[in-house]
Amino acid sequence: MLSFPNCKINLGLRILRRRPDGYHDLETIFYPLPLCDALECIRENGEPRFTAYGLPIPGDPDHNLCLRAWQLLKKDFPGLPAVHIHLLKNIPIGAGLGGGSADGAWTLKALDTQFHLGLSQEQLLQYAAQLGSDCPFFILNTPCLGGGRGERLTPVTLDLSAYSIALVDPGIHISTAKAFSLCTPAENPTPLTSIIARPVPQWRDQVVNDFEQPIFQLHPELAAIKPTLYAHGALYASLTGSGSSFFAIFPKDQAPARPGFHFSHNYRILR
């Protein structure tokens, strides 16, 4: 079975408070974008296995979220057959785009469909939450307000199809744990749902990602990306997640082909 896990961006990300369990409560708007990996699950004799090509994936392949998704389902469905999970990795890794989370969540959905497990959306959400904080979003895969660790989701009405969205991947892997350690939690005085109800040009300086300033301290070379996007006509630009990727919202078909970034930056326009 072939599927295409997509990425996400965060429209604002506020770190509200540190929790007793060591995690943080946050507030963000998840928005799906059509930059995709390709995921294939094939029934396999013997043990399940994971292979990948495209962008290199760091870490032990045996601990990949796709295999962990299979293992979660196997516990509750002993008859689930082994599979060969094959991934074409296209979404940049460690970039705040949720690519790994998407792959894990889409594996749950693919196995449910392929082997007729009959899981409800709520059950898929529960499995996804065991994989990671961002994984439940990719079960719904529609614009959502994220609360708690990001796993508490409320769909919101938001359609950016009238704009072009550009992604900038500087190719720097950001440690989410390190990024969180540099943030100072604070309550958000204005709910994000109220701000995104305003016209996109009014989001500048209002839709805030709390990771930006700490990440700029860690990697000063990233600080010029956001003003460059604004200088080339962006209506709104921001770091996504804990970075290092940025996104910019432009009027339809007005995103510049080359904003003048250093050659190592991967720049893509999504319409």
Residues, the chain: 271
Residue with tokens 């196997």: 74
CB-CB neighbours of 196 under 10 Å = 23
Q: Provide the 3-class DSSP secondary structure of residue 175.
A: coil
Active site annotation includes 21: no
Instruction: List b or e across 99-108, with b for residues whose CB sees 16 or more CB atoms inside 10 angstroms.
Output: bbbbbbbbbb
Q: Of 37, 103, 112, 134, which residue is the catalytic one?
A: 134
Return the structure tokens found at 203.
């989001």
CB-CB neighbours of 119 under 10 Å = 20
Nearest of 226, 143, 218 to residue 180 by alpha carbon: 218
Active site annotation includes 8: yes
CA–CA separation, 28 and 241 (whole Å): 9
Residues in Cβ contact with 201 at an 8 Å cutoff, skipping those fewer than 6 apart: 235, 236
The residues annotated with a catalytic role in the active site are 8, 134
